[in-house]
Structure formats: C-alpha cells, structure tokens
Amino acid sequence: MVAAARPVRLGRQTHAAPAGLAAAALGLLLALTASADADSELDRLRAENARLEARVRDLEAENARLRSHAGAAEAAADRSVTARVDAERAVTALDVEPSRLELTGGNRSRHWIALHAKRDPSAADTATIEIEAAASNGAYRNVGELELTLDGTRLALPVTARSATPILAGPQQQRIGERETVSVALPTADVARIGAAGEVRGRLGPTSFVLTAEQIAAFGAVARRLAAAQR
C-alpha cells in the first residue's frame, strides 16, 4: 500500500541569526568600547603628565629664584657685619649695622634692630640685640623680655638695659615724646639658631615684627665669624 503524500505548506519562513555571528558582533562592540576607553585613559594620563612636568619646571624655577635670593641675602649680610680687634688681637667685636624692622602690629613708630657680639678667649662669648624706637613714648619702660619665634619654636630673651631720650620740639623745646633703645642679651648659640631659622617673628612689649631674610642672614654671618674665631 502506497502512503498518501503530505501536502506542502508554502509561506514566509523566519530564519534566526546563527549564534556564532551574534557572539562575534558582541565581541567587536566590546573591543571598540574598550579601545575608546583606553584612548580616553591614555589622553588623561598624557594631560596629567604634562601638568606634572609643568609643575616641576615651575618648582625648579622657584628653587633657583630662592637660591639666588638666599645668596644675595647672605652676601648683603656679610657686608653689613664689621669686625674690630683690640690692640693685642685677643678680643674680636662684631657689629651688625642697624636695619629697619618690619612691624606687624603694636607701636607703629620706626624701629631698627642691631646686633653686637664679642669673642674673648679669656671670658665667655657675649651677644646683644639692640632695638631702637624712634618715638615709642615709654612703651618699653616695663618690658622684661624679647620673645622670638624661630620656625614656630619660642625663645624668650631677657631685657638687660633700656635707655630713653626725650624728643623736644618748638621754641620752648617742649617734650613731645621719647626715643627708646632696648638691649637684650642672648647666648651666642642662640645667635646661630636665629641665623639658621627660615622664619623669625618677634614681640617686644606691645610691638610685633618679623625679620627679613637679610636680617636673619646677618645673625648667621655673625655666628660663622664667631665660630671661625674659636679655631
């Protein structure tokens, strides 16, 4: 017996994409995304590197400027120090010429600072800071110490002397004020400490101030000369 033939259904057929082709397309998409991310990260790293290189150049230029300024300050400090030797060449006196103080608060009249040191083989080395005010009008009459801050470290030094000169004016020479000079004693080791500091701030009674780089360097110059005299 011959089986009956099945009818053939004609119509539109839907073909699914092969699994391998879909995976390849996904892989290509991921590769392109990863490549774009890598390019973006590379551009970021290049920009960061360029920024760091520019910062290094700026720091090198700043360091060169600071070294030049420090060298100029030390040269000016050496010139500001004068030395005197006694007749027997036993005692060496070192003097730093007065220079204007940079005030940061308190009495606003003009102030100057000077340093005197003495090297005597038969006695202990001595040093004295002198601060002179043009018209302080007795502001330092009862001040007992000079307070310095060396890079944040406090140093208290005793006031050992004070002198005052009246300021007179007018036909009757009336007293209108008072010029004061305050002397402060310090060990020569502290002269070296001040000369080696990066920042020195001070307070004398109501008046606060900061030393310039040249003034700090002058302390260092005196300390070096005292040390050389000991050899």
pLDDT digits (tens, 9 = 90+) for 25-40: 666 666 667 666 666 7
Range of the domain at 129: 76-229
**Quick check: is 201 in a domain?**
yes
Which residues does 140 contact at the CB level (< 8 Å), separation at least 6? 133, 159, 162, 180, 182, 204, 205
Residue 129 has pLDDT above 80, yes or no: yes
Q: State the pLDDT at residue 197.
A: 96
**Quick check: is 225 in a domain?**
yes
Which residues does 101 contact at the CB level (< 8 Å), separation at least 6? 111, 112, 113, 131, 209, 211
**Quick check: is 89 in a domain?**
yes
**Quick check: is 194 in a domain?**
yes
**Quick check: is 134 in a domain?**
yes
219: domain CATH number? 2.60.40
**Quick check: is 69 in a domain?**
no
Residue 223 has pLDDT above 50, yes or no: yes
Residue pair 99/80 in contact (Cβ under 8 Å)? The answer is yes
**Quick check: is 55 in a domain?**
no
Computed on alpha carbons and rounded to an integer, the radius of gyration of the chain in Å comes to 39
Q: What is the mean pLDDT of the chain?
A: 81
Q: What is the pLDDT of residues 144-185, one digit of tens each?
A: 999 999 999 999 999 999 999 988 787 877 777 789 999 999
Q: What is the pLDDT of residues 45-84, one digit of tens each?
A: 777 777 777 777 766 655 555 455 555 666 666 777 888 8
**Quick check: is 173 in a domain?**
yes
Cα(3)–Cα(150) distance, rounded to whole angstroms? 115
DSSP class of residue 139 equals T
Q: What is the pLDDT of residues 92-124, one digit of tens each?
A: 889 999 999 999 999 889 999 999 998 877 777
Burial class (CB in 10 A: 0-12, 13-18, 19+), 201: middle
Q: State the pLDDT at residue 72.
A: 64
Model pTM score:
0.65
Q: State the pLDDT at residue 172.
A: 77
Number of folded domains that form the chain = 1
Q: State the pLDDT at residue 175.
A: 73
**Residue 110 CA neighbour count, 13 Å, CB half:** 5
Q: State the pLDDT at residue 6.
A: 52
